[in-house]
Amino acid sequence: MQQRFGENKQWMIPLLLVFALYLICGVASEKGLDAHVRDGYVTEGGDYHLDWGDTRPVDPLASNPEDAKDVNGPTKSYTNFAIVGFGLATLVAYTILRDKLTLAILMLNPALIYSFGKGYDELFIIAVMGIAWVLWSRKQTSEQSQSEQAAQIQKVKRAAQILLAAGVMSLIPLQKFMFGFEEWIFSILIFWAIGLSVEYTPDRFYKPRQTLGVGFALGTGVIIVLGLLGYGSFSIITSHPVRFLSAWPIALLDVILIYGLVGMVLWPFAITTWKKMGVIEDRDIGELTLLIGTLSGVIVTYVASLWTFESVLWDSEWPLHMWTMGNNGRYITILVIPAYLLVQKVNDGIDWKEKKAIIGIALIIPLSLLASLHGQTYWTDDAGEILDKEMDDNGEFLFVHDSTLGMHSLYTFH
């Protein structure tokens, strides 16, 4: 009885460690550069804009207050936002995975601890992804015994269920891109259309291995098509194709291998999961792998295009720029709940006691401790305090910085 009690409580120490690390990280870390920028938006005429100029200026050697687009989405309270994201992600992850030890390993991810300390939104997005999946997941119903009218009602209910899931998913672009109301409604309709197309695709197409690969190709293709169409910063794909193509395999390594398989401790289960996926015929698992594959392709290709775009914009040294911005690979952590759920479903659970899993956890613990205990501050903090005391209202100061992340660093003074 005593031994069984000990086995059942194996989650306690990891989970207590997680809460301690997040608490220390929240106290020790300064907001990240992107969080400083988001908090730098000011209101004017109902819209928000960066009053010191866009972080991607036309001239990389100088700031330009006139060069800043207006947005009308949410911008403030990033520290509180990260705290809310932590609470939601913890609750949603446990509700879906139903295992305290798995929850502890999930939250022990060093990239998530880092993003929490910086006030970034990965934890919020993780929660949104989980809620959307719960809303999406089909309920087992016996359609053979239903009348035609009942079947039609069931289809309407299913369409409404998908619309609700689409509405939740739309919170991600709403938060990331600060959409206005019309853009937000449009994103809901896009997600709904995608959901309906997935729903009405026949079961025979949902073989887990195939949908993972097809999804990855689709996600990659979406970003490349946007580049070919000249959409926003993705146009860099056509204007600098060689640099983009050289960035893509590095992004694949950074996103999938380092932050995905290693950072999320998925590599111990990767081979067995892949083998079993080849013989499993399960639509729900097929839909799950389609989601993982598609968003993985989007993230890898987005990171490659982002590195290419910003290196050209800031005239930074290539390929060193990819090392400087390598932490963009952490974006893959938004798929941590679907990824763990996939391993659970395919293997009938996750055995964290096996040797490779223990090694995987041991590899990330030092990084998690470093992300929490080290914290991060900026040299601009001290300078900002001095300027705040010495400068008069509407005063001016000269900030000299390398063009790489120069505008981001400027907003730490804001």
> What average pLDDT is seen over the chain?
84
- What percent of the chain clears pLDDT 70, i.e. is strictly above it? 74
The whole model's pTM is what? Answer: 0.86
Mean pLDDT of 50-54: 68
The pLDDT tens digits of the residues spanning 2-14 come to: 444 444 577 788 8
What secondary structure, in 3-state letters, does the chain show?
Answer: CHHHHHHHCCCHHHHHHHHHHHHHHHHHECCCHHHHHHHCEEEECCEEEECCCCCCCCCCCCCCCCCCCCECCCCCCHHHHHHHHHHHHHHHHHHHHCCHHHHHHHHCCHHHHHHHHHCCCHHHHHHHHHHHHHHHCCCCCCCCCCCHHHHHHHHHHHHHHHHHHHHHHCHHHHHHHCCCHHHHHHHHHHHHHHHHHHHCCCHHHCCHHHHHHHHHHHHHHHHHHHHHCCCHHHHHHHHCHHHHHHHHHHHHHHHHHHHHHHCCCCHHHHHHHHHHHCCCCCHHHHHHHHHHHHHHHHHHHHHHHHHHHHHHHCCCCCCHHHHHCHHHHHHHHHHHHHHHHHHHHHHCCCCCCCHHHHHHHHHHHHHHHHHHHCCECCHHHHHHHHHHHHCCCCCCCCCCCCCCCHHHHHHHHC
The pLDDT tens digits of the residues spanning 245-278 come to: 999 999 999 999 999 999 999 999 999 999 999 9
Domain residue spans of the chain = 147-200
pLDDT for the residue numbered 4: 45
